[in-house]
Chains A and B, each alone.
Chain A
Amino acid sequence: MNPEPSIFTGGGRLIVGGVLAFLAGAIALVVGGAAHGRDAFYAYLSAYTWLVSLLVGGLIFLMIVHAMDAKWPVALRRVVEGVTGVLPLAVIGFIPIAVGVSTIYPWTSPSAIVDHEAQRLVEHKLPYLNTPSFFVRAFLYFGVWLGTSYFLRRWSLRGDWAPETTDKPRFRAFSALGLPPVALAFTFAGFDWLMSLTPTWYSTMFGVYWFAGGFLGAIALLVLATYGLQRGGMLTRVGSSHYYALGRLLLAFTIFWAYIAYFQFFLIWIANKPHEAAFYAPRMKGEFASLSILVAAGRFVVPFFALLPYRIKQQPGTLVPIAIWILVMHWVDMEWLVMPSVRTEGPVVHWLDVAALVCVGGAALAFGTFRLRGRPIVPKNDPSLETAFRYGSV
């Protein structure tokens, strides 16, 4: 049924390159951290939240696909599972955040907050925002994400060696029931790790904002990984229709991101209440104003118009550069979420931010590629695989 070479064995250079990037980035972070301790933690937080949102975005995509019993993504399912397979690394990656929690988050020492009103508000939030419960919640989030991705991956791999078992109903039920906890964990992780950087501020849309960017980034990552695998001679039967489907999702979630990002801003801007505006105020003046414009233009205007024409979404040659752009812009977005809150004096981008991105990205690339090795690159016994390959759209 499926004659193409299916076991993934390559990626040696990716692993070596990833490990080297990780080492270079890590050394730079440690050396730079000795001189600018706080900046190293901020840089790491922005890179780390970039990675986690991509991974959980991939997990949510995988679960939606399972819950809907969608056919065409079956051809790319192993690639998505490759993305979610990096999640265990995210647990290890949380260690620097845990170490730096009192450096990064102002709510860890409310007494140090100068503004009396703000101090009172943060003290009021202490039952939620305190270091022990921060760790317990992080532990819960990782439990939900790792547990879900573990079972989905395990059943998927089991299908390769035991063709007679049909896990389809199990996949569906598990994914449908698992989506709410995974999404809630994601939302609250956004509250804990990013929103609490401005502890007096709150937005119920914040989790959706982080999700929209992460999901979009995960699809972009999928485009990139699929193209990479095709360049390596795998997934030969994935064609323009599959890219078109991914491109449509990129366009849809670019619009979705713009919609929720704009309305989060718009409602706060129109109400103009001090505690809500506290988040946007530092982002609308000085150097950070240009970063805000870059985020709006780079996340919406450019990809939206670039993704409108049909041909661009259909051809990997044009879709891949846009996917790379979206991934970079997602990181810029994380910088925008983190830096104006903690590094109010600037600079907008520190060289340590790039070092952290290289470190985290390299480690994830190496680990993800390593976990994909020795496995079939498609779920080869899935009854929908043939339909998935034949998928054709208008």
Chain B
Amino acid sequence: MRKTRQGGIVGAFDTPEAIIRAAHELRKSGYRRLEGYTPYPLLDLERAIGRGRSRIGFVVFPFAIAAAAVAYLVQWWTNAVNYPLNSGGRPAHAPPAFVPATFEMAVLFSALAACVILALWSGLPALWQPIFEVPGFDRASIDKFFLAISDRDPAFDREATARRLTELGATRIELLGTHPATDAELDERLNGKGGAES
């Protein structure tokens, strides 16, 4: 369990339109560290919180090139240098024959690299995040739309931001990561016994 002291404020919205509008307004007033949690992908929200296209392609590309180069080198070394065989009178270094394996290795290693990098960028080894403590957060995968603002945001101010979220139509405001919850507290909150509705 990673003890990240990430704090901030999260607001719950009832409709996609409301959260998209709120995200737009917050971006306009200078908020930069926004994060959305929605039951299904909202392209407009991604744009509104300032998420551009994924840069994964640029990271995968060197892997593809490196894998292709290594694959070609291995074939060249085994076939033309280390153990040349005469096969049908063709030259030992026969580029056309090396192309399929070179291509396959490039594809294989781009796919593997993409898989691993995507997992890392999604923060996968961390199985817990402060936002999971927000009571009722499970509804982010059912019918609620959550917009989180990090306290490291340049425009963050606990009171003002909370007020702003309410004005923008958030039906509920919660503080994020004010204290690292113990397992017992978490359990209690998730089971709704002491669940403080702010």
Residues of A within 8 A of B (CB): 262, 265-266, 269-270, 272, 308-310, 394
CB-defined contacts of B100 to chain A, threshold 8 Å: 266
CB pairs A–B below 8 angstroms (17 shown): A262-B99, A265-B96, A266-B96, A266-B99, A266-B100, A269-B96, A270-B96, A270-B97, A272-B88, A272-B90, A308-B57, A308-B61, A309-B57, A310-B53, A310-B57, A394-B43, A394-B53
- Known pairs A266-B96, A270-B96, A310-B53; list 14 more (Cβ under 8 Å): A262-B99, A265-B96, A266-B99, A266-B100, A269-B96, A270-B97, A272-B88, A272-B90, A308-B57, A308-B61, A309-B57, A310-B57, A394-B43, A394-B53
Q: How far is the CA of A201 from the CA of B49 in the complex (A)?
A: 60
* Complex Cα–Cα for A22 and B141 (A): 64
Q: Which of B40-90 contact A (CB under 8 A)?
A: 43, 53, 57, 61, 88, 90
Residue ID in chain A nearest B46 by CB atoms: A394
**Residue in A272, A308, A309, A394 with the greatest tally of chain B CB atoms within 10 Å:** A394
Residues in chain A near residue B57, CB distance under 8 A: 308-310
Cα-based distance from A310 to B57 in the complex (angstroms): 9
Q: DSSP majority for the A interface?
A: helix
Q: A-B pairs with CB below 8 Å: how many?
A: 17
Q: What residues of chain A lie closer than 8 Å to B53, measured between beta carbons?
A: 310, 394
Cα distance A272–B99 in the bound complex, in angstroms: 17
In the complex, residue of chain B having the shortest beta-carbon distance to the beta carbon of A263: B100
How long is the Cα–Cα vector from A309 to B56 in the complex, in angstroms?
Answer: 12
A358 smallest CB distance to B (angstroms) = 36
- Which residue of B has the minimal Cβ distance to A394? B43
Q: How far is the CB of B86 from chain A (nearest CB, A)?
A: 13
Docked CA distance A16–B53 (Å)? 44
Least CB distance from B165 to A in Å reads 27
- Report chain B residues within 8 Å CB of A262: 99
For A272, the chain B residues whose CB sits under 8 A away are 88, 90
A394 proximity list for chain B (CB < 8 A): 43, 53
Interface centre among B53, B96, B100, by most chain A C-beta atoms within 10 angstroms, is B96
Nearest chain A residue, comparing its CB with the CB of B99: A262
Q: In angstroms, how far is the closest chain A Cβ from the Cβ of B65?
A: 10
B87 to chain A minimum Cβ distance, whole angstroms, is: 10
C-alpha spacing A310/B54, complex, angstroms: 11
A131 and B195 alpha carbons, distance in the complex (Å): 89
Q: Which A-chain residue is minimally distant from B97 (CB atoms)?
A: A270
Task: Give CA–CA (A309, B61) in the complex, Å.
Answer: 10
| Complexed CA–CA distance, A265 and B96 (Å) | 9
Closest Cβ–Cβ distance, residue A265 to chain B (whole Å): 7
Bound complex: CA of A262 vs CA of B99, how far in Å?
Answer: 9
Question: In angstroms, how far is the closest chain B Cβ from the Cβ of A343?
Answer: 26
A69 to B43, CA, bound (A): 24
- Cα distance, A249 to B72, chains bound together (Å): 29
**Chain A residues, Cβ within 8 Å of B90:** 272
Hey, which chain B residues are within 8 Å of A310, CB to CB?
53, 57
Interchain CA distance A270-B88 in the complex, whole Å: 9
Bound together, the chains give a CA A377 to CA B113 distance in angstroms of 46
When C-beta atoms are compared, the residue in chain A nearest to B53 turns out to be A310
Q: Of all chain B residues, which has the CB nearest A272?
A: B88
| Complex: A308 Cα to B96 Cα, angstroms | 24
